[in-house]
Structure 1
Amino acid sequence: MNEFEAISHDTEERLARSVAVLNAGTDEREVLIAEYKRRADQAFAPSTRRSRAVMMRVLERYFSELGLSTTPPLSPFHVARMIDDLSPIYAIGTIECLLSAVTELHRASFLRSPRNHPIVKLAFMAARKHYSKPSKQAPPICRKDIMDAIAKMGQSRLHVRDKAVLLVAADSWCRSSELAALRMHDMVLQQDGSAILRIMRSKTDRYSSGGFAYLSIEAVNAVQDWQRLAKLTPPEPMFITSYDNGCRKPLLSVTFTQILRRATGRKDVSSHSTRVGGVHDAMKIGCDMGSIIMSGRWKSAEMPARYGSQFLVGQSASARIAAAHRNST
């Protein structure tokens, strides 16, 4: 079966399923829809379900203001009008999430989504043309910035914990959700005093295949100092509140941004800044893209290349030509 035949076969199967559901009796159809909802709750991550719930509330509010229902199927004319009306208000990424919610709304009822209707496609293309903005990127926090921040810290319980957070973030290039999910037994010590950090779940690891990150000797020592102070057992979260006898639950993802801002005195950085900074540090010393992708556990070079784009401009051909001319004069 060639590629064209495979696509045609898949299309025929989807049409056959849709026809079968539409021809089913009311009771049988309701059973299928209920079963889909039950399985979707098991298959999708909590964050995905929360995001879709927010988008559904936006859809319901918009359609109710027009005196319309969100019961599928939705008219492609109404969906296109929604894009026209909401694009000046919401970011294009949010409009795309709304369209994904429209698709899921129809998929859950085994109906064809208007998302791929030519009118809807053209409306979205026009919205992207007129309202797209450059995506914001977290400013880099490099290793020197981390070490400078740590040098100013004392030995209080808060500072001991924050030192461990900063060093683990700088070494592992972990996302905030990954830092929040770490347990003490995820740090596997090596003979030279460094450690391998097991990342059990991540944003791009949908099926929890797991990944690994490197921890330096400095990071290991900082984590062990915090472990002794907080009396953390192997199964417990690596990072909890700094209060003595406080909650033993993991920190919220947003707390890691707060820690980084407090330590560096900068309000423009986020927990993603150590990830961007790690890419900048790696490019400065000439690391190849393969090792950078491995360190950040990316699936491709797209994101690290974007993170390092500002640094790479300074290494471009035009920059080298200017430097060579300057040195020759």
Structure 2
Amino acid sequence: MSYLATSPIDGFVSVYKEAVNKYFKDIFTKLPHNTQRAYVSDFNEFAIFCEQEGLTGFNDSMQNNEDCIKRYVEVLCHSPLAYRTIKRRLSALSKFLGIAQLPNPIVNSVYLKDFVKLSLSQNEKYQLSSHQAVPLTVDILEKINNNVIPDTLLEMRDLAIINLMFDGLLRADEVVRVRTEHINKRNNALLVLTSKSDQTGKGSYRFISNSTVAMIDEYINEANYNKALQQERDSSDPRRINHGILFRRVSNRGHALLPYDEQLKGKHSPILEYSSIYRVWKRIADMAKVKENITPHSGRVGGAVSLAENGATLPEMQLAGGWHSPEMPGHYGQQAAVGKGGMAKLAQLKGR
């Protein structure tokens, strides 16, 4: 219930308080934490959309609810959101309509179901063809590692982030939550606990190479050394990495970590934001003179493509990236196979 106390969806809840409160009291609070957070986030996004568009939101009218969701789908499909994210948001809205016992066009309107199906189908094609991240392949990664000789703690951190995201096929929201205790150097394993595809909260294990382990060690050693005093930082120093979040905020000069406090929230949270990881990729690309437009998703895509190029099977790719379905690994495998197809062989034969 605490989730809804400060939520923009309060307006909806107050109208159908009895049905909603019963559900949240008896069921919602017993769901996995990640599921609770995802539902509330999706509800809030819809509430914000309604407020911005001047809509009253859901009510007892099927037509009203149908029009409202149709407009929401149109906006979502013109946003950079992924196909799966849009489907998840609609699923959350359908769940809410059921909880509030309101007319649900997502389930009962043939018109809306067909409209959503066609809109999402077009969106998926557009996302895959036009907005796919440029893969960070092994060749580009080697270029980065050869050209970037880190001089500051910031550069050491950034280089370790890039390499870890490639090894583990990590998303930005996964790498920012990596903790020191999640790394098993003996088994070259990384435990990933937070993932949008992990609804159980059990996590998954990813591979981490020896070279990446060495980069992380270099970053930690540099962070734990006080250059001003020419000595190791005391174990109680809040700038020292003893445990907890691995990749932390760095001071403006890039030579020391900012004081770490696990309890801080919001903009002061020790967990980096997506914008920070985005800047990491841009800084490293500039330093390495990489012309390709690589982004935080390039490591995950590039890792999958590189695996496919080197003969990895779909199950091996699924395990490496923590995918539950072979759909996306299969897409990346198809991308990698283009250079080995018949036309590629003809071009090579004819010197084209």
Q: Which bin holds the TM-score, normalised by the shorter protein?
A: 0.7 to 0.9
Given the alignment, which residue of 235, 239, 246 partners 2:243? Answer: 235
How far is 1:84 from its partner? 5.7
Q: Give 1:156's aligned residue.
A: 152
Deviation per CA, 1:174-223: give whole Å up to 9, x if none. Answer: 11111111111111121xxx721111232211111221111111111111
Q: Judge conservation of contact 1:74–1:114 (CA < 8 Å) in 2.
A: no
Q: Give 1:211's aligned residue.
A: 204
Q: Mean alpha-carbon deviation: is it higher for 147-156 or for 214-223? A: 147-156
Given the alignment, which residue of 20, 28, 35 partners 2:22? Answer: 35
Q: Which has the higher contact order (CA 8 A, sep 6+)?
A: 2
Q: Give 1:10's aligned residue.
A: none
Q: Give 1:307's aligned residue.
A: 332
Larger Rg: 1
In structure 1, give the amino acid aligned to 2:258: G
Which residues of structure 2 form unaligned runs of 5+?
Answer: 1-15, 225-239, 261-269
How far is 1:233 from its partner? 4.3
How far is 1:83 from its partner? 5.6
Cα gap change, 1:215 to 1:131, in 2 (>3 Å): closer
Q: Give 1:122's aligned residue.
A: 114
Q: Percent identity?
A: 19
Matches of 2:121 and 2:137, distance apart in 1:
35
Q: Mean alpha-carbon deviation: is it higher for 43-52 or for 210-219? A: 43-52
Q: Give 1:288's aligned residue.
A: 313
Given the alignment, which residue of 189, 200, 220 partners 1:196? Answer: 189
Matches of 2:348 and 2:283, distance apart in 1:
41
Which residues of structure 1 form unaligned runs of 5+?
Answer: 1-28
How far is 1:122 from its partner? 3.5
How far is 1:155 from its partner? 2.0
Q: Give 1:23's aligned residue.
A: none
Q: Give 2:59's aligned residue.
A: 72
Q: TM-score, normalised by structure 2?
A: 0.71
Matches within 5 A, 1:205-284: 205-231=198-224, 232-243=240-251, 244-248=256-260, 249-265=270-286, 268-284=293-309
SS of 1:181 mapped into structure 2: coil
Matches within 5 A, 1:308-327: 308-320=333-345, 322=346, 326=350
Matches of 1:217 and 1:98, distance apart in 2:
39
How far is 1:254 from its partner? 3.1
Q: Mean alpha-carbon deviation: is it higher for 117-126 or for 167-176? A: 117-126
Deviation per CA, 1:261-281: give whole Å up to 9, x if none. Answer: 110136832211011111121
Q: Give 2:266's aligned residue.
A: none
Matches of 2:335 and 2:322, distance apart in 1:
21
Q: Give 2:263's aligned residue.
A: none
Q: Judge conservation of contact 1:41–1:49 (CA < 8 Å) in 2.
A: no
Matches within 5 A, 1:176-187: 176-187=172-183
Cα gap change, 1:87 to 1:207, in 2 (>3 Å): closer
RMSD: 3.1
Matches of 1:160 and 1:315, distance apart in 2:
36
SS of 2:293 mapped into structure 1: coil
Matches of 2:60 and 2:215, distance apart in 1:
56
Q: Give 1:12's aligned residue.
A: none
Matches of 1:51 and 1:60, distance apart in 2:
14
Cα gap change, 1:166 to 1:60, in 2 (>3 Å): closer
How far is 1:237 from its partner? 0.8
Pair 1:141-2:133 in alignment: no
In structure 1, give the amino acid aligned to 2:139: K
Deviation per CA, 1:266-319: give whole Å up to 9, x if none. Answer: 683221101111112112222222221111111122112223433222223454
Matches of 1:128 and 1:187, distance apart in 2:
38
Cα gap change, 1:48 to 1:270, in 2 (>3 Å): farther
Matches of 2:123 and 2:143, distance apart in 1:
40
Matches of 2:272 and 2:124, distance apart in 1:
34
SS of 1:34 mapped into structure 2: helix
SS of 1:134 mapped into structure 2: helix
Matches of 2:65 and 2:19, distance apart in 1:
26
Matches of 1:324 and 1:54, distance apart in 2:
51
Q: Give 2:77's aligned residue.
A: 91
